[in-house]
Amino acid sequence: MKYIFRYLVLAGLLMGSLNELHAQQPTTIILLRHAEKDTSVAGSTQMQADPPLSKAGEMRAASLPNILKGYDMVDLVYSTNFVRTKATASPMAKKFGKEIQLYDPKDLVPFAKQLSLLIGKTVIVVGHSNTTPALVNLLIGEKTYPALEDNVYNTFWVVTIQDGKVKAKKVVY
């Protein structure tokens, strides 16, 4: 009987320690708009609807791993299925050896739920001027951030989820 009691006490302490360790692991979600798109693209309607990055956008995308250098490990990289968002996410995915996962920018509610259920992960999400702030708002449960102006490409958000608490920080770089 003594041994059973000791075993139960030890198991309880171990479970408490594991719960404490688990509770201390924040999820960090970095949400950014795609880099500058090439608005001078002429040609097909498809090219106009899904333009590539401009030269400035390519340079910005290439600089993102350095801008986000404080995050030494990224577990997941998400992008919408557009040329400009995938091209923006690509340097970061390459740096961290990750495949770009696609999400639907027209169906943000289930995507926000999916992100909010992650534990202890660091995630990069590349979206658009309207969907990125909207996704931040869904994650924090408030309508705090309006859509970005069309000419704003130097802003991202860091959303941290830990112990059921969600915080967002807007970063201009």
At residue 5 the predicted structure's pLDDT band, cuts being 50, 70 and 90, is very low
For position 10, what pLDDT does the model report? 47
| β-strand partners of 79 | 102, 126
Decide if 7 is inside a domain: no
For position 40, what pLDDT does the model report? 86
Looking at the chain, the whole-number percentage of residues with pLDDT higher than 90 is 79
Task: Supply the DSSP symbol for 99.
Answer: P
- Based on the structure, what is the number of domains in the chain? 1
The pTM score is 0.85
Whether residue 133 has pLDDT greater than 70:
yes
Whether residue 70 has pLDDT greater than 90:
yes
Of the two residues 73 and 42, the one the predictor is more confident about is 73
Please list, in sequence order, all residues whose beta carbon lies within 8 angstroms of the beta carbon of residue 112, skipping any fewer than 6 positions away: 135, 138, 139
Of the two residues 6 and 120, the one the predictor is more confident about is 120
For position 16, what pLDDT does the model report? 55
Q: What is the CATH number of the domain that holds 105?
A: 3.40.50.1240
pLDDT tens for 82-130 read: 999 999 999 999 999 999 999 999 999 999 999 999 999 999 999 999 9
Decide if 18 is inside a domain: no
The residue whose two tokens read 């795609």 is 34
Decide if 168 is inside a domain: yes
Q: Tell me the three-class secondary structure of 20-84, residue by residue.
A: HHHHCCCEEEEEEECCCECCCCCCCHHHHHCCCECHHHHHHHHHHHHHCCCCCCCCEEEECCCHH
For position 44, what pLDDT does the model report? 47
Please list, in sequence order, all residues whose beta carbon lies within 8 angstroms of the beta carbon of residue 123, skipping any fewer than 6 positions away: 27, 28, 29, 30, 74, 75, 76, 77, 78, 115
Residue among 161, 158, 151 nearest 60 (CA)? 151
Decide if 68 is inside a domain: yes
Decide if 110 is inside a domain: yes
Domain that holds residue 42: 25-172
